[in-house]
Amino acid sequence: MSVMSVGDRRRPATLVHTSDCHLEKTDGGPEQLAFRAVIDMAIDRQADVLLIAGDLFDHNRVNEEIVVWVAGQLNRFPGPVVLLVGNHDSLHDASVHRRHDLRDTCDRLIMLDHPEGKILDLPGTDITIWGRAMVEHSPEFRPLANAPMGQADRWSVIAAHGLVEAEAGRSSPMSTKEISELSADYVALGHVHVHTIVHESPPTRYSGATHVHWTDTSGCVVVDFIPGEGARAQWVSVDKYLSVDVKAQSSN
C-alpha cells in the first residue's frame, strides 16, 4: 500500500537502489567495475540518495584495502548513502562493519544498524528509510517485522534483505502478504541476484546484484518519486560506465 495524499507537496526525488555488491578484492574484477559504475551513474543522474540493501562486502573477513577503496567510491557520491547489511556482511561481533566502520571515513554514510529497526529522515530530501539490521541470517530473523506506517508528508522507503516466499526453515523470510500490507512508497530488497519485480502495491523490487556473472549484466534500480503519482522504479544498465580501469582510479 503506497502512501499518497491529496495535494501531494512532497518534493520530487530520485533514489538509486543497489544490493549484493559482494566486494572482496581490489583486483579490478567485475564486482569492482560494476560498483564504481553504479556510483558514476548515480552522480550522472543527480540522484538524491544511494541505498545499498545488503551484502556490500562478500564476507566479513575482507581486508582493509577493499574497505578503503569502497570508502573512496562512496565519498564521490554527493548525497546521503544508506547502508543495510546482508547475510554476507551481517552485523554480529565479527562483522567487517565493526572492524572497519565506514562512517569513520564517509561523512554522508548512514547505517540501518538497529536489529529492531531504524528510521532515517534523509537530509536535504523528503525521503524516510526504515530497515532492520541483520545480526544473524536465520529463520527467526524477519526482515519486515515492526515496519512502521508511512507518513503522508514523506516518501516512505522500506529496505530489507531476505527471501520472499521462502520455503519453511529458510533464513530471513518475507511473504507477499507482509509486503502487500506495508505502508510505503517503495520497498527495496536485497538477496536475490537477478532484478525481480516482486509486487506493485507498494512497488517492491530486488535490485539484483551489481554484477550478475551468469548473465554478464551490471545494473541497479533507479526510483523516481513523483508528487501526485508515487514511485516509478526501473532497472538501469550501467554498461556504458564500465570502461574506466578501476585499478588505476584513485580512491580519493
pLDDT tens-digit series, residues 50-62 = 999 999 999 999 9
Residue 124 lies in a domain: yes
Quick check: 4 pLDDT over 90? Answer: no
The neighbouring-strand residues paired with 19 are: 209
Residue 37 lies in a domain: yes
3-state class (DSSP) for residue 85: coil
The residue ranges of DSSP E strands in the chain, in sequence order, are 13-18, 49-53, 81-84, 109-111, 118-121, 127-131, 155-161, 163-164, 173-174, 186-190, 196-200, 203-206, 211-212, 217-226, 230-237
Confidence band (pLDDT; 50, 70, 90) for 222? very high
The domain that holds 133 is classified in CATH as 3.60.21.10
Residue 245 lies in a domain: no
Residue 248 lies in a domain: no
Q: What cell numbers appear for 103 in the block?
A: 562512517
For residue 250, the model assigns a pLDDT of: 42
Looking at residues 188-194, what average pLDDT do you find? 98
Residue 120 lies in a domain: yes
For residue 58, the model assigns a pLDDT of: 96
CA-CA distance, 112 to 144, in Å (whole number)?
A: 13
Mean pLDDT over all residues of the chain? 94
pTM, two decimals, is 0.94
Number of domains in the chain: 1
Instruction: List, for residues 126-157, the tens digit of each pLDDT value.
Output: 999 999 999 999 999 999 999 999 999 999 99
Residue 251 lies in a domain: no
Instruction: List, for residues 67-117, the tens digit of each pLDDT value.
Output: 999 999 999 999 999 999 999 999 999 999 999 999 999 999 999 999 999
Residue 250 lies in a domain: no
Residue range(s) defining the domain that contains residue 216 = 13-240
Residue 1 lies in a domain: no
For residue 7, the model assigns a pLDDT of: 80
For residue 246, the model assigns a pLDDT of: 54
